[in-house]
Structure 1
Amino acid sequence: MHSESNAFRGDVLLAEKVMRGIDPQAVVFKLSNPAFGQEADLPFATRENVAAVLQAIGAQARPQDKVVVLLTTHGHVNLLEVYAANTRLGVVGPAELREWLAPLRGQPTLLMVSACYSGSFLPTLRGPSRIVLTAAADDRPSFGCQFHSRNTFFIEELLGQPGLAAQSLSDWVPQAYRAIEQRELALKLAPSQPQAFFGADVQAWARQPIAQWLN
């Protein structure tokens, strides 16, 4: 899902490219609220559509499947913004998102939340079968969401690494977080301090090279 910005749309397309590289037959759901000048070529990332997609994934996922969910938008403490055509269509809070993710309970799930203050969602979204990565701590903004940005810093460093398929999440995430810190330091930005949680039931998955996720 993305909510109105070239950077957010870029995040969604980069994530799709990575998933297709792992599995060309991967089932990919994309929702996007177009920024100014973009075509409305994807279903809108409304609250209702996000909930419906997560429910559909939960219904279709097989026990051996891995689920990857990306939410990229503007955020504040304990909320994610939903925008389209410069109109605020509401917000999503941690408890509501937890409810929407309930159909995936027990399914190995990687959840990436790219938004300012997204660490405020982490306590509510933790679960034994879940890996949760957030772009910032609960009291910090994240960067790269300007209208003309290609991607947010968080997703670009997470998913744009060379040789990604040969790495495990346990290796990949700390490397990406160090790269984000160095990038912010070079630009004299306050550290966003991205957060990570690895559930007890997905520790083996976290150590598995990405290219072997389907084995």
Structure 2
Amino acid sequence: MRKLLAAFAGCLVLTGCTSQVGGAAVPAQKPPASLDCVPAGRVAPEGAPYCYRTPDGFTQLATESTSAVTTSFNLPRARTVTGFTERDSIAVSVYKLEVDSDKLPSDQLRSALLGTANEAMAGVYRIGADVRQTVVSGSRAYLMPITGSGYTADAVVILRGHTQLEILCRYDQHQAEVQRGCAQLRDSIRVLDFGRP
């Protein structure tokens, strides 16, 4: 469980996340069996268990992948950033978990994510009390409003088996555009289980 918590805290440290997130042990929607994202505008980092369509009007700012051999538990295996500027962007990061999150109760996951993030980022970021569970790409997801460092963000943490994927939507000057882009990205993203570590 500590690995799960550290992954979220690590994301906040690495990307300065702020976002909004919105899922039970068995989601109502069926998770995808393959990464079947639309080819036009498709973003799919090599070796990563996710893909999505770049939101309308957004530019791909960065794509990073890390070898499974050199990745520590709190560093993302892959990270992509799309948007306008660093402060008006959407960062997608994926982590490989040592535990199967599908077997953990939803209230335990929510408490772990909230507690670890608030403890790790005390005085830097603040996670709002309105953390909501929803389903994204057929998997449990948690929506979290975050504030800090002069801008606001919405975080979506998606859990699928051994995969923890985070969508961090930061906005400063382009709130409406980034929130629209986040909605498009959440609708188009496909997330698979990394499989057993």
Verify same fold: TM over 0.5.
no
Specify the structure having the higher radius of gyration (Cα). 1
* TM-score for the superposition, normalised by structure 2: 0.29
Higher relative contact order (CA 8 A, sep 6+): 2
* TM-score for the superposition, normalised by structure 1: 0.27
Which structure shows the higher helix fraction? Answer: 1
